[in-house]
Structures are given as structure tokens and as C-alpha cells.
Amino acid sequence: MCPWSVPRSTLRLTCVTAGDMDMVLFATRTAAAMAASLAMASAHGASNLVANGDFGTGNFDGWTLFGPTYSEGVNATSSYHYAYFGHYGASRGIRQSLPTVAGMHYSFSFLLANMGSAGNAVNVSWNGNSVLNLMDAAAFGATPYVFEVTASAASTDIAFSFRNDPAAFHMTNVSVSALEPVPEPDSPALLLAGGGLVAALVRRRSVRPSPAA
């Protein structure tokens, strides 16, 4: 089953279950094309361009802090680290410059939680362009946000700006990874890839334990 609850402010995602496999498909491409893209990214082990995206160092190494200092830091649980931002009255944030290729598509994702209620704001940008802008959001638990973005230069800045008067925002698992070029749905490459997936599923379903003698 696909457990994620994605807010309307993110790109719409479609979750498809095939047997025991869950696939999250972006609405910005056809389902067949995006499934092929995810399969190729997995096969090639797409690497995360973000340094310390999980804040595993216990601090903001790899990031540049900006805005007035009030309350931010990195906490750790038994299984993961997360950054927190609880700034009152003014925004505080972090940014990082990434090596990119002009014209290439990337997956930009992170986990975000709001521990407070009204009196908050968060803005997330890619190369200066806002991809997420929330104001006076109600409290919500750890939620995955995923965006497909395109680089326009050899270096791209990602930035997160937070204000939270009553409490704090929590964030972790910031990731940017290149997406493989995806063939059109009716191209021979995609048809062959789809045929291979169908054949694999048929073979898997056709295998049955031999009856006992």
C-alpha cells in the first residue's frame, strides 16, 4: 500500500501498486514515461547532489545560513537527524549551491513537518524560483514533497526560508538527483521496456511450487 499523504501545494503524485511493488508517479509526465524514469534512476543509482541533506553530521555543514539568528539547530532521534527552525517575527533559512547541467531535469525532494499552527511561513526555491510557499499552515506531520525541476546553468542554488512564531518547522532528507531522459510513450525504447516489465510479471506469476509427489 502507498502510505504517503501529499498536500495540494506539492506536485500531484499518483501511487500505483503492482503486486508487492509501489511506484510513485509524477503528474508532470505520463505514467508510463515516469515509471520508466524511476526504473532507470534506480538502475543507475542516481546520486544525491545535496551535501548533508539528512543533517547526519549533527550540524549545518555544507549549508549556508542566512537571515537573523533566533532558534535553529539539528536534533537526532534513534534513527535519523532533522533540522529545526523556530524563528519569531522574521525568516531564517539555509541554502546550498549544487553542480548541475543546463537543460537536465532533476528530482528535488525533502521531508517537512510543521509543529505549530498559524503564524508561520515557509518558502522553498530552486534557482531563485519558488517551488513551495506556505503561510499560516496548520500543523502537519512529516510529509514528503517532491518536485521535478530543470537546471538552467552549471550551478543551481536551493534555498529554504522559515518563520514559525508558535513552534518550529522540522526538515530532513533533502535530495536532488538527476532524472534520466525519458523516451516518448510510443517510442521503441519505452515499448521494449514496458514489454520487459510485463514479461517479468508474467514469468513471476507463472512460477508455482511443484505439487508434492
Residue 12 lies in a domain: no
Residue 136 lies in a domain: yes
What letter represents residue 44's amino acid? H
Residue 8 lies in a domain: no
Domain count, the chain: 1
Q: Identify the CATH number of the domain in which residue 88 sits.
A: 2.60.120.260
Containing structural domain, residue 108: 48-180
Residue 14 lies in a domain: no
User: Taking the model in full, what pTM does it have?
Assistant: 0.66
What pLDDT is attached to residue 2?
Answer: 38
Residue 40 lies in a domain: no
Residue 85 lies in a domain: yes
Residue 6 lies in a domain: no
What pLDDT is attached to residue 32?
Answer: 46
What pLDDT is attached to residue 111?
Answer: 98
Ranges under pLDDT 50 in the chain: 1-44, 197-206
What pLDDT is attached to residue 36?
Answer: 45
Cα distances (Å, whole numbers) of residue 106 to 44, 50, 83, 85: 14, 12, 23, 26
The three cell numbers of residue 62 are 555544507
Residue pair 81/54 in contact (Cβ under 8 Å)? The answer is yes
The three cell numbers of residue 67 are 537571515
The per-residue pLDDT for range 190-202, each reduced to its tens digit, is 555 555 544 444 4
Residue 114 lies in a domain: yes
- What stretch of H or E contains 197? helix 188-206
What pLDDT is attached to residue 54?
Answer: 98
